[in-house]
Amino acid sequence: MTRRVLIVDDEPAIRTVLDAYLTADGFEVVHADTGAEALRRALDPSAPVELVLLDVGLPDLNGIEVLTTIRAKSNVCVILVTARAEEVDKLVGLSVGADDYITKPFSPREVVARVNTVLRRARVEPTDAEPSDPVLRFDALSIDPERREVVVDGRTLELSALDFDLLWALAGAPGRVYSRAQLLEKVWGYDFYGDDRVVDVHIRSLRAGLGDDANNPRIVGTVRGVGYKFLGRRVEQA
């Protein structure tokens, strides 16, 4: 399968630099400088793309509008790119399925690492679980790493691949406090050059998926000034 990435940005210099780095890493790169062109290319079945690097600030359609339309028709991976770190918090309520977020200015090496990480995560396929699989069970929640399934209060949830990995990392050591930097290293798996508040974005996304109230959490807790921890109590199987 062709490793094709769509870069959506109205700044030619950014497209050129990202094109060079992604091409050197073995990707085929296509470009769009407007939201309308991005939709045409992202949804073109004759030349499918694996991932879209989507700038939020486009001259015609807002990047969130583009993402909303893409998500209604496709599960292609999307990494949102924002111009200011402050926009990360705004994306929490507006996002409708981004796989990751990057803030400008960024290192091109960071972008390539993010693209590879998101695609690697997306290629993980659920498999039939064996009896020996290390399913983590807690009071009202269970996590099956083989099927990549999460069950809360008897309901099977659909979490994004990244949110699942974040939950798995926290649940592996209940009560342990992880800093943002530790979670970036553990879950994202690469050297990080940008705004570490991307962790906050995904923690909020994870809580939303779990139905966990940030003001009165029972699954993912916040340790102010430090980071996050898993609150569940492990249930040992007989």
Calpha distance 92→202 (Å, rounded) = 8
Segment 51-69, tens digit of pLDDT? 999 998 899 988 888 998 9
How many C-alpha atoms does 12 have within 13 Å on its Cβ side? 0
Under CATH, which number does the domain 136-230 receive? 1.10.10.10
Q: What CATH architecture does domain 4-122 belong to?
A: 3-Layer(aba) Sandwich (3.40)
| Annotated domain spans of the chain | 4-122, 136-230
Mean pLDDT of 94-118: 82
Phi/psi at 53 (nearest 5 deg)? -90, 105
Task: Please check whether the two domains, 4-122 and 136-230, share a CATH topology.
Answer: no
Q: What is the DSSP string of 26-45?
A: T-EEEEESSHHHHHHHHT-T
Burial of residue 114 (CB within 10 Å: 0-12, 13-18, 19+) is: buried
- Which pair of tokens denotes residue 21? 């780095």
What confidence tens digit (pLDDT) does each residue in 17-44 have?
999 999 999 999 999 999 999 999 999 9
Q: What is the pTM (predicted TM-score) of this model?
A: 0.71
pLDDT classification of 133: cutoffs 50, 70, 90: low
Condensed to tens digits (0 to 9), the pLDDT of residues 201-235 reads: 889 889 988 999 999 999 999 999 899 999 988 88
DSSP 75-117: --EEEEEESSTTHHHHHHHH-SS-SEEEESS--HHHHHHHHHH
Contacts of 191 (CB under 8 A, 6+ apart): 110, 113
